[in-house]
Structure 1
């Protein structure tokens, strides 16, 4: 697609961006380039590729035509200048931090995050010599106070997993700009159809493409999208992007690649050395999923509104966190920042606590009890005993994953069937508790 493609509608771009008829065969769908290495035209061509003087394909750990098509499509839908495909959403998070951090540096992150991300940021990144401060992102002063001279990024989720909390991205972006650090937004639960973080002030976006982007529960992957809007030179905090790179004979990424500095560094250094590479088949299946993203998200949201409203009126339920409900404390924010809907991920609390939640997930028939979200199928999980099990009770409560809480990812089935399934499961779960 040309630069004019950004003027096209979302539904058009989700089908066409990044994909052109194959020049060799005329194949209309992007081929699956299940391939490791690529032949050079000659020795000079090879040298230019390795010196980053020419863009092309060397080895599929770095670049692959099928993955490149996905990268272009996601970057276009998010309004970014470039993107990097990764092996998973967790890989994308580490890859997003890799060009920014050195031992001793830290990030400020929201308490409302997926449990695996809490573990990654509170435990795993310590092995790199990095640390994270967790704060309530509704308290902007807390974000400011948690930052110091070694802070290199602020991280949040647009619609947080598991509770469906919606982040006030413009307000957090103002804090990030004042601190001269990038705001990284995980836009997995919202997708670019519901939320456009770059338009609200974010600088980098990460996705677990495993979820709504693919939508079919077949393909693990992740992606980082670069807005191209952050000035890496302004505060002198990002030497990997501004100072001479020894591995490339002193090349300076920001000086050489300008707005694409982060993207090129993530490929030429990050994928080269960390190898967190997306598989071509997974990229292909994700491309297929994105073609129907807007259609699916409309149905996801419509179903979520109906199911959440029913749950809110049920006496066996003590609370529903869906931001799309008028009763939600985040209803105004969701309507202002997420006008197409507050997603399809939320939690509800069950009378009878932990034991009733366990009985509930064991009693559903249409909902699938799996550790995933964003599937066409409706999914259910008890986070406290699974995805957030490694966290302390305090961390579970802060993340919205207390012992009496069940998480739903609402699919695209008939909403009345989903309600009937929850009704019969709640009857079994709460009757035993009575």
Structure 2
């Protein structure tokens, strides 16, 4: 397995191989049995243990079904909201089967161990995409809940680790690109209008207090409301959000699957997550440099990342993994290299106005309306058989 993962590093896995590797990592991470034990036996034992615990908890909570927990209404509302807001989840927002599967799985997890947090909706989504069923099965939400539990308990970095990693990314940016670093901090201080819904506010503050050793917040400590706003207006908090949501909240689906493939193959190494965070941040450098206040920086952090090409993120990450210079990453964003076409009328006295130089064979990304074209394809003389056509037909 380790040799296979090493050879596949940097690649987007095909579906069957992805399922095999992800299941192997998920089940063996939580298994106390020897690594030499067959995967089927490991999975059977995990299913039995999970099922027995769920059954015991259902009896304790006096529930008829584990898919309808005491938090069902809260979970369903949160699921609908997340699917409407996250770029990679939005195409499934009207898919009742996917929405119901998400809600059921999170309810099962809550019954299993009393765990529910909104960010788990993001963590569950890649698992749903990786283990998508052609026909719904009653036990599938239980399988997904079992996988999510293992991911939560054994693989996904802790919030404390993510806090340190986000700080490391900003430190690296300060060393490698002081101008970009200074611009981000300067812009984030202008016209600050923080929306608490953007962040896991309580979680961030709790982890920060733990890191500082502050336990008795209310006993003798002044109010930290201003401090809270200052913390949430920092670029580092956006990076925590990116990584804390597994990049699901900001990237498109192929990019998310690429990142999760690498994380599973590298046993969820923090170095892998940090290099992806640096890659996305630097690929968006031009967009960030054009943003001059907090609302515009926020827009780039939360919306522009989903427009990046997956292949560019892949190349940037491989570049950094192989020891490449971070300064080279912004140039890997091919969206910044696309030629622009001026469709405005030519200015008087300027023979070159509107002229665009394109590579041979390249089609410029222009858009026109109400134009009807007739395309004529050459046909050998012996087979020529033309007929009268109306406008728009192809000959």
TM-score, structure 2 normalization: 0.30
Structure (1/2) with the larger helix percentage: 2
Larger radius of gyration: 2
Q: Greater strand percent: which structure? A: 1
